[in-house]
Amino acid sequence: MKYVPYVIACLVLSASAGKSWSEESGKPLIGVCSKDFKAVKEAGFDFIELNAKTIATASEPDFEKIVKSAREAGITVRSVNGFLPSDVRVTGPETDKQKQMAYVEKCFDRLHKLGVQIVVFGSGGARQIPKDFSRDEAMKQMVDFCRRIGPLAKTNGITVVIEPLNSKDCNFINTVREGLELVEAVKDSNIELLADIYHMFKDNESADIILKAGRHLKHVHMANPKGRVYPLSAEEYDYGPFFGNLRKIGYTGGISIEAGTKDFNADGPKAVVFLRGMMAGGK
C-alpha cells in the first residue's frame, strides 16, 4: 500500500500532459532547465526541464521523490534534456542495439509516468563520430536509431527533438539545417527538431532556418548567446530575427531557458516576462 500515493501522482501527472496551456491559448509555454521545482513555480515559469539520464538511472525511491516534488510544487515536467549517457553509443563501431533499446525503454517508461512530452536529443558524447569513422555511415546509424525509438516514443506520448550542437561541442549535426535533414530522413512524427539560439550563434547559423524548419520545430532552447546567461532585455542581443521567425511559423511549443544565472530569484521572473513579450511581438 505504500506505493499508492506514488501511483496516483503518476496518473495525475500523466493526465495533465494530455493538453498543454500553449495548445489551449495558442501561446508558447516558457520553461527553464533547473532542479528546483518550487523556485521555478514561484518565478512564474510554466514548466521545468529536467535531465533524462538522472531520471532513467535513479533508484525507485529517488524517482518517487522526483514525482512527489513535481506534484507538490504544482509544476509540469514538460521536457527533459541529456537523453543518452555517453556509453550508449549511437554512432561508430561500438554501437549495441540491445543496450540502446533497453535504456530507451526504461527511460521512456519513467518519463511517461512524469508526464514528459518532449525529450531533447543532444547527447553529444553518445553521437560524436569516432576518428576515421564514416560520416555517411554515422548518419545511417542515427536514422536507424531514431526510426527504432520512434514507435516507443509514440506509445509513451513523447516527441523526441533533435538538438543541433555547435561544432566545438560535437562533430555531428551542428546546425538546425543538418538536424532538419536528419528529421526528414527519419520520417517519423515523433522524431522532430529543436532550435537552440546559443548553438546557432556559436556556428553563425541564420535565424532564417526557422522558416524552413516550420512545422518540424517542436522545442526551443533559449539564452542570451553572449555569455549563455538568462535573456533579460532586447538591448543585450538582437533577438528580433529569431523571435520574429518563430511568430511567422506560428510556433506554440515550449521555450526553455538553458543558461546560467547568479541570481535566479531576480532573473527568473524577468526572463519569463521578457520571453512572453518577445513572442507577443516585442522588438
Three-state SS string over the chain comes to CCCHHHHHHHHHHHHHCCCCHHHHHCCCEEEEECCCHHHHHHCCCCEEEEEHHHHHHCCHHHHHHHHHHHHHHCCEEEEEECCCCCCCCCCCCCCCHHHHHHHHHHHHHHHHHHCCCEEEECCHHHHCCCCCCCHHHHHHHHHHHHHHHHHHHHHCCCEEEECCCCCCCCCCCCCHHHHHHHHHHHCCCCEEEEEEHHHHHHCCCCCCHHHHHHHHEEEEEECECCCCECCCCCCCCCCHHHHHHHHHCCCCCEEEECCECCCHHHHHHHHHHHHHHHHCCCC
Nearest alpha-carbon partner for 139 in 101, 174, 106? 174
Total length of the chain = 283
Chain CA centroid to CA 198, Å: 14
Q: Would strands 76-81 and 217-222 be described as parallel, antiparallel, or unpaired?
A: unpaired
Q: φ and ψ at 273, to 5 degrees? A: -60, -45
Q: Is-contact 177 212, C-beta < 8 A?
A: yes
Query: Which grid coordinates belong to 35?
Result: 532542479
Cα 193 from Cα 183, distance rounded (Å): 7
Q: For 247, what's the count of Cα atoms within 13 Å in the CB-facing half-sphere? A: 15
CB of 81 within 8 A of CB of 128?
Answer: no
The CATH number that domain 4-279 falls under is: 3.20.20.150
pLDDT tens track for 248-277: 999 999 999 999 999 999 999 999 999 999
Percent pLDDT > 70 in the chain is 91
Q: What are the boundaries of each domain within the chain? A: 4-279
Tens of pLDDT, residues 72-91: 999 999 999 999 999 999 99
CB proximity list for 10: less than 8 A, separation 6 or greater: 67, 113, 114
Per-residue pLDDT of the chain (283 residues; tens, 9 = 90+): 343 444 434 444 443 443 443 444 578 999 999 999 999 999 999 999 999 999 999 999 999 999 999 999 999 999 999 999 999 999 999 999 999 999 999 999 999 999 999 999 999 999 999 999 999 999 999 999 999 999 999 999 999 999 999 999 999 999 999 999 999 999 999 999 999 999 999 999 999 999 999 999 999 999 999 999 999 999 999 999 999 999 999 999 999 999 999 999 999 999 999 999 999 997 6
Alpha-carbon distance of 56 to 33, in angstroms, equals 17
